[in-house]
Amino acid sequence: MTYTVVVGVDGSEYGDAALRMALAEAEEHHGRVTAVFAWQVPFSSFPGLYERAELEQAGKNFLIEKVSAVAPSPKVPLLPLVAEGDPAEALVAAAKDANLLVLGTRGRTRMAGFLLGSVSARCAAAAPCRYCSSKRHRIPLKPDSRAVRCLAEPCGGDAGYSGRVHPPDG
């Protein structure tokens, strides 16, 4: 069975870091990556305001564009997957037969996560496989510089990620 890493892509710098992490993990295990973007029809009081087919195509275009920008020439097979529905539910479903689920996390406080909701917390609780969360680290290039760089290391707890690998419950 091929080692499979599922990663959530949302367009944020945290999602980009998670995609880089997922690619590194898949490369280390000679596996593949499934990049997932979930979309929902916006709530509106006007029926027919949004065309489902247009929203789905926009989601596909976004995912291809984002993945191509972060990893123009991935060293492992990368499958884009666009899902309609709740992001946490889509990610957990996509990870059903995966070895690892990787998500970026903004690192909000517990209160903010509670009030705003947290896809990563819901996925960590329901993941059918190992789960890894990553944060994008900002490190000044010079003590007085405003420029920053992003560290990208594999998921195993190396420098650059505060990510933790969680085994599934059960």
Q: What is the pLDDT of residues 45-92, one digit of tens each?
A: 566 777 888 889 999 999 999 999 999 999 999 999 999 999 999 999
> Which domains, ranges and CATH numbers included, belong to the chain?
4-166 (3.40.50.620)
pTM attached to this predicted model? 0.75
Burial 85-124 (b: 16+ CB within 10 A, else e): eebbebbbbbbeebbbbbbbbeeeeeeebeeeebbbbbbb
pLDDT digits (tens, 9 = 90+) for 105-148: 875 555 544 544 688 888 888 899 999 887 654 433 344 433 33
Q: Which pLDDT belongs to residue 166?
A: 40
Residue 91 near residue 36, CB atoms below 8 Å: yes
